[in-house]
Amino acid sequence: MNYCALASGSNGNCYYIAKGNDAILIDIGINTKHVLLRMASVGIDPASIKAIFITHEHGDHIRGLSVFAKRYQVPVYITAGSYKGSRLHMPEHLIHIIEPNAKTSIGGLTIYGVPKYHDAKEPCSFIVSDGSINIGIVTDIGKVCDNVKRVIQHSDVLLLESNYDEDMLENGRYSYYLKNRIRGGLGHISNKQALAAFLENKTNRLKHLILGHLSGQNNRVELVQELFEPHCADILLSVATRYQETDLFQVDIPTKKIDVLFRKTSVVYQQTSVIIHES
């Protein structure tokens, strides 16, 4: 399976997962121009996208949806609440309403909805599987509920939210209301909460941890890297940012070797690939 983060942050999110000729996007929260530029940077053909799955209706997850889906005639899978909340008016033939816990097949991929806590109408995260490898995308989680724990426990590749540094948020310029929205159980999780979730729920099958959805005002790549790196001796650690796409990675069975298929054109943070054999 191939995968990358095309964008990850409070200003826009878009994640690519593929198995052979079956490719999907999870969210498309940056405009189509930048989606296409970032795809080109890592060798992704936009015409290869077979479906788009939307986690919820906030702008940083749907900003580029309408233009991209219409241009390439890509079906969109979204909950009824999220679609209503989005206020988008998409062609009916492109919209597929799903339950938050739906199981959907796109070619050789199975996409499982994962209900979660977030201040949106009917949000869900997703875990994508080819029957052997599971890739979990878990962001915009107000708290680490049992559903999120199960995703961590069953993922070979995990993109996990690490949204804010608690001290930066507390001492930052955000209003008291906004600070409480972020940390109040329906917003986002902090670096420390993400680390605790990772340490308490990771299993030997996890080979690649990607930290994402970092706040632009209340976090820094260096803080996330320094916090997690001591705990990732046996797995590949990456940090996805808002500034550019990650490398395009590939994970294989049976060794679950992580390879880089395409490297991004410039580097913000990068760690060399590793091979972890099954225990």
Per-residue model confidence (pLDDT) at position 209 = 98
The closest alpha carbon to 42, from 269, 257, 246, belongs to 246
Other CB atoms within a 10 A radius of the CB of residue 113 amount to: 22
Per-residue model confidence (pLDDT) at position 10 = 87
Return d(Cα 111, Cα 27) in angstroms, integer: 13
Per-residue model confidence (pLDDT) at position 270 = 34
Per-residue model confidence (pLDDT) at position 265 = 57
The ranges assigned to domains in the chain are: 2-262
Per-residue model confidence (pLDDT) at position 186 = 94
- Is CATH 3.60.15.10 the right assignment for the domain spanning 2-262? yes
Per-residue model confidence (pLDDT) at position 223 = 97
Q: How high does pLDDT run on average in the chain?
A: 92
Question: Listing from the earlier edge strand, what are the strands of the sheet with 95-98?
Answer: 95-98, 76-79, 49-53, 22-26, 14-19, 2-7, 248-251, 258-262
Could you identify the residue written with the tokens 């008016």?
89
Per-residue model confidence (pLDDT) at position 277 = 29
Environment class of 97 (CB within 10 Å of its CB; exposed 0-12, middle 13-18, buried 19+): middle
Could you identify the residue written with the tokens 């820094």?
220
Distances, alpha carbon 241 to alpha carbons 110, 268, 270, 277, in Å:
27, 8, 11, 28
pLDDT along the chain (279 residues), means of 10: 96 96 97 96 97 96 97 98 95 97 98 95 97 96 96 98 97 95 95 98 97 96 97 96 94 83 57 31
Three-class secondary structure assignment of 29-92:
CCCHHHHHHHHHHCCCCHHHEEEEECCCCCHHHHCCHHHHHHHHCCCEEEEHHHHHHHCCCCCH
